């Protein structure tokens, strides 16, 4: 039997129509939460995401339990509108769990970075999290329970060449999370669960987005050869995490027992940052 310890709670997961975000939404739904998903994709992709999250709830659940909220996360006004809509959907209380997962990247040398791309990456990866947090945290504090989990990256802890905007945004979200954690550390109690703000920092995760990089390193060998060549550059374990692995960490951080785990950044990187 599933541990539905989040029954009666609500969660918003940005960037949750695919990949890591979708896995997080599914895991939180399985733990009993109402889920607001957000993310890019055509109607079919959004419908697929809604269906799989509803299945994780244990049945064909309607919009009262799982719903998609659209917003262009580059635009503060759109985020404000989304957060108001999510609050109305939850009955005016706002969300108990906020997972800022949405992210974009453009890998080129710093001096070749298009200014527009820089602005978009900082807006989606960092500023959007600021806007959702500033709107969600007051309600969490007033209720004495709240969980903010920001999906940073190993690149919020160490840098790589050709990723200036991505690294800057991820270092920024780690710092932002520490500040928010300090400001809300005394909210609530051990019994209520308190309000915590943490980062999860994945290394290589097995999603469709990295398939071209694996293929480029196969050198005529198998896909596994390509994986080991890719990970050998950075990740000593030589194995990727699954989206579900990241989701499991997020779910654990939402437990009441994690009330004193705040302001932390958790690498899930196969030893990358231990070097």
- The Cα–Cα gap between 7 and 247 comes to 17
CA angle 197, 121, 177 (to 5 degrees): 15
What single string gives the DSSP state of each residue in 103-116?
Answer: -----B-GGG--HH
Does 166 participate in catalysis according to the annotation? Answer: yes
CB 184 within 8 A of CB 195: yes
Catalytic residue, chosen from 89, 166, 204, 266, is: 166
Other CB atoms within 10 Å distance of the CB of residue 269 = 23
- Alpha helices (runs of H) in 57-114, residue ranges in sequence order: 76-89
What pairing do the DSSP bridges indicate for beta strands 66-68 and 97-100? unpaired
Active site residues: 166
């Amino acid at each position: 039997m599933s541990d539905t310890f989040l029954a009666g709670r609500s969660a918003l997961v940005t960037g949750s129509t695919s990949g890591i975000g979708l896995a997080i939404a599914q895991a939180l739904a399985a733990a009993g939460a109402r889920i607001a998903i957000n993310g890019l994709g055509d109607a079919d992709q959004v419908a697929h995401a809604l269906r799989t999250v509803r299945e994780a709830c244990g049945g064909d659940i309607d919009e009262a339990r799982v719903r998609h909220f659209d917003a262009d996360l580059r635009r503060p006004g759109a985020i404000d509108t989304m957060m108001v809509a999510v609050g109305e959907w939850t009955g005016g209380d706002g969300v108990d769990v906020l997972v800022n997962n949405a992210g974009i990247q453009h890998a080129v040398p710093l001096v070749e970075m298009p200014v527009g791309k820089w602005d978009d990456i900082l807006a989606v990866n960092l500023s959007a999290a600021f806007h959702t947090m500033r709107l969600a945290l007051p309600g969490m504090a007033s209720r004495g329970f709240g969980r903010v989990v920001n999906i940073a990256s190993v690149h919020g802890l160490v840098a790589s060449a050709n990723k200036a905007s991505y690294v800057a945004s991820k270092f920024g979200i780690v710092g932002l999370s520490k500040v928010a954690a300090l400001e809300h550390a005394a909210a609530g109690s051990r019994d209520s669960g308190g309000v915590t703000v943490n980062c999860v920092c994945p290394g290589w995760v097995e999603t469709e987005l990295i398939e071209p990089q694996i293929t480029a390193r196969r050198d005529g060998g198998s896909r596994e050869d390509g994986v080991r060549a890719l990970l050998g550059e950075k990740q000593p374990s030589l194995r990727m995490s699954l989206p579900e692995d990241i989701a499991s960490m997020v779910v654990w951080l939402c437990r009441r027992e994690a009330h004193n785990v705040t302001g932390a950044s958790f690498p899930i990187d196969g030893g990358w940052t231990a070097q």
